[in-house]
Amino acid sequence: MSSILVLNGPNLNLLGQRQPEVYGTTTLADVQAACEAHGKNIGYDVAFSQTNFEGGLVEAIHAARGTHDGIVINAGAYTHTSIAIMDAVFSTQVPTVEVHLSNIHAREDFRHTSYLARAAIGQIAGFGLTSYLLGMDALKAHLA
């Protein structure tokens, strides 16, 4: 079976507790369960990971090459600051979809810039947990 890496960045381990008015009450465990179930429905094994460290995200992207067919990533705040994560996606050439729980384009100005979007095949934002599932569907369509 094919495989997708669902990769989560800083502070996403606090979902359900952190700013519920922005991110809702869904926990990261809820996101993981939904992604794993959706992966089965669309024919993909799902590896799920979260780290608060930029280097951990870069290493996970590097390790995805030759292991996973694609990546769905919510890089959190690193979306707006990390050239290293963008370069990792460019360097590995693993098809990557950027996702966000909130609509980053309706928030503070600094969140409107995504370095990651330059390397990703697309971006889905603002649909809460469903952003991840839509990202998986988009990745599957791209890989077909």
User: CATH number, domain at 30?
Assistant: 3.40.50.9100
Positions annotated as catalytic residues are 23, 100
Q: What is the pLDDT of residues 37-84, one digit of tens each?
A: 999 999 999 999 999 999 999 999 999 999 999 999 999 999 989 999
Domain count within the chain: 1
Contact 85, 61 (CB under 8 A): yes
pLDDT band at 1 (very low <50, low <70, confident <90, very high): low
pLDDT at 24: 74
Structural domain boundaries enclosing 39: 2-143
Q: What is the pTM of this model?
A: 0.92
Exposed/middle/buried for residue 17 (C-beta within 10 Å: 0-12, 13-18, 19+): exposed
pLDDT digits (tens, 9 = 90+) for 92-132: 999 999 999 988 877 778 677 899 999 999 999 999 999 99
Alpha-carbon distance 46 to 54, whole Å?
21
